[in-house]
Amino acid sequence: MGLIVDNFAGGGGASTGIELAIGRSVDIAINHDEMAIRMHSLNHPTTKHYCEDVWAVDPLEATQGQTVDLAWFSPDCKHFSKAKGGKPVEKKIRGLAWVVLKWAGKVKPKVIMLENVEEFKTWGPIKGGRPVAKKKGETYRMWKSQLESLGYKVESRELKACDYGAPTTRNRLFIVARCDGRQIVWPEATHGPKDTLEVQAGLLKPYREAWEIIYWSIPEESIFERKKQLSENTMKRIARGLQKFVIDERDPYILEDKLPYIIRYNTETANRGARGQTLRDPISTLDTSNRFGLVTAFISRQFGTSTGHDLRQPLATTTAVNKSLLVKAFLLKYYGSIENNQSIKEPLHTITSKDRFGLVTVHGEDYIITDIRMRMLQPRELYNAQGFPESYIIEGMPKTEQVKKVGNSVCPAIPIALVEANLPELCKNTKREAK
């Protein structure tokens, strides 16, 4: 049995996917980041780890004459990504993919797999720290040609993680090269949008949805009563999401559909807090005041003019800087009476010093928005969204590092699919239940 090598191993996304496919850890993992190697070591303790620059590791020394069945590469992609910002390109980082040829030339892995952003194929010469527009893709084509000259057949395809069972829309370019004479196989999607004929006919499973990865017991903070006021841009994005996913949405995501509780209000404190009860219990004592309401939620994305998305969609791509917010709108039944609230034909009564009321129609009934609460998605939720097992160890390092590692990680679902499709002989003893 040949070795499995994970270059640019990061916190272990590709290694985890490979392990889930073949039933054992990768043999060698390489990364220059001490925190990444620390996380990788905790989750893959039998792997031989190199905390070094990939160029510093000699493939012949690392493999000790053993054959290599698979070499995985996920070189730094920030100088290709459209999300990189306006910083000049660092030639050293942009050229990291050349290390693939070092491994191909020295130890000739049977199969090579590379993951990067879609823009990787635009790799070309740089001048003055900027890509030369007229020569876009020139370096990529040279890189691919040299790999082919070493006896590899090379193919590429963009794959979306949600198509293979991860609850995220993360889209990446994958390149597969092999030199053993066998065909490259691209795995068929296993999941799809729930309204498609393939899903309705049972040929595909429905996409996993964002609400699945959220820990609903974690409290949020009111956007109106924070010690440090939210920025104007954040408030605008929340407002856009509220308009789209609560006010204008015919069928808003009501938490009682998936989260079994009812929000219980005291009329005097409806704007400051709420208590809840499970829907499995008898409803609490009813009296003459209106104390029961609904909660609806959505994801707010803090990028540019992004509105966010409904919780019934897979989570949008996670980045190294967590910009995903869970927003809840608390709704109280509106009867149009002064006793409970007021008529919409009158000026708004001075109920509190905070201006937070809006009329919303949900399933044909009127509600007022009594509060809006928000929190950042937590690292564990982001790892869930990427498709990591819940048992994956992320504790023991700063939260910023946890987020950075998941944002830069490979979604395990795609290495699983690629390895099972191209190296089935390594997976024959592995039994895995797809979600």
pLDDT in tens, 360-415: 777 777 777 878 888 888 999 989 989 999 999 999 899 999 988 998 899 999 99
More confident residue, 335 or 203: 203
Share of the chain above pLDDT 90, in %: 47
**Taken in order 422, 71, 321, 37, is the CA torsion positive or negative?**
positive
Tell me: pLDDT of 13 over 90.
yes
> In the prediction, which pLDDT does 210 show?
86
Query: Which of the residue ranges 21-30, 74-83, 211-220 would you say has the lowest mean pLDDT?
Result: 74-83
Helix or strand or coil: residue 162? helix
Each residue's pLDDT tens digit, 272-294: 333 443 433 443 333 333 344 56
- Model pLDDT for residues 316-367, shown as the tens digit of each residue: 777 655 768 788 887 776 655 434 444 444 444 333 333 445 677 777 777 7
pLDDT of residue 321: 56
Mean pLDDT of the chain: 81
Q: How far is CA 324 from the centre of its chain?
A: 10
Residue 411: name the closest of 387, 378, 380 by CA: 387
Point out the residues that are catalytic. Answer: 77
The label of the residue with tokens 């799809």 reads: 192
- Could you give the percent of the chain with pLDDT greater than 70? 77
The pLDDT score that the predictor gives to residue 230 is 84
Highest mean pLDDT among 87-91, 124-128, 188-192: 188-192
pLDDT of res. 88: 52
- What is the C-alpha to C-alpha distance for residues 186 and 158, in angstroms, rounded to an integer? 10
Residue 148 confidence (pLDDT) above 70: yes
Q: Give the domains, in start order, of the chain with CATH numbers.
A: 3-201+398-427 (3.40.50.150), 216-377 (no CATH)
pTM, to two decimals: 0.82
d(CA 360, CA 301): 22
Mean pLDDT of 117-125: 90
Bigger pLDDT: 2 vs 336: 2
Q: How far apart are CA 247 and CA 134, in angstroms?
A: 47
Report the pLDDT averaged over residues 54-75.
96
Report whether 159 contacts 414 (CB < 8 A).
yes
> In this structure, how many other beta carbons lie within 10 angstroms of the beta carbon of residue 87?
9
Q: Which residue has the higher pLDDT, 145 or 327?
A: 145
pLDDT above 90 for 61: yes
**What pLDDT, on the 0 to 100 scale, is given for residue 238?**
83
User: What band does 257 get if pLDDT is binned at 50, 70 and 90?
Assistant: very low
Q: If you write DSSP's letter for every residue of 62-117 in order, what string do you get? A: HHTT--EEEEEE----TTTSTTS-SPPPPHHHHTGGGHHHHHHHHT--SEEEEEE-
Q: Which residue has the higher pLDDT, 367 or 109?
A: 109
190 confidence band (pLDDT: 50, 70, 90): very high
- At residue 336, the pLDDT reads 54
The residue whose two tokens read 């006010």 is 247
Report pLDDT for 213.
Answer: 86
Instruction: Kindly tell me if the per-residue pLDDT of 265 is higher than 70.
Output: no
> Does the pLDDT value for residue 270 go beyond 80?
no
pLDDT of residue 279: 36
